[in-house]
Amino acid sequence: MVSENWKELVKSLREESGRDIWLFGGGSLFRSLAEEGLVDTVEVGIIPTCSAQVFRSSPNRPREWD
pLDDT at position 35 is 94
Cβ atoms of 23 and 33 within 8 Å: the answer is yes
pLDDT at position 60 is 66
pLDDT at position 4 is 79
pLDDT at position 64 is 64
Cβ atoms of 16 and 10 within 8 Å: the answer is no
pLDDT at position 13 is 87
Q: How many domains does the chain have?
A: 1
Q: Which residues contact 3 (CB under 8 A, 6 or more apart)?
A: none
pLDDT at position 21 is 82
Cβ atoms of 10 and 33 within 8 Å: the answer is yes
Residue-wise pLDDT tens digits, 3-62: 778 888 888 888 888 888 887 788 888 898 899 998 888 888 887 776 655 555 666 666
Give the structural domain span for 29. 1-66
Task: Tell me the one-letter amino acid at 32.
Answer: S
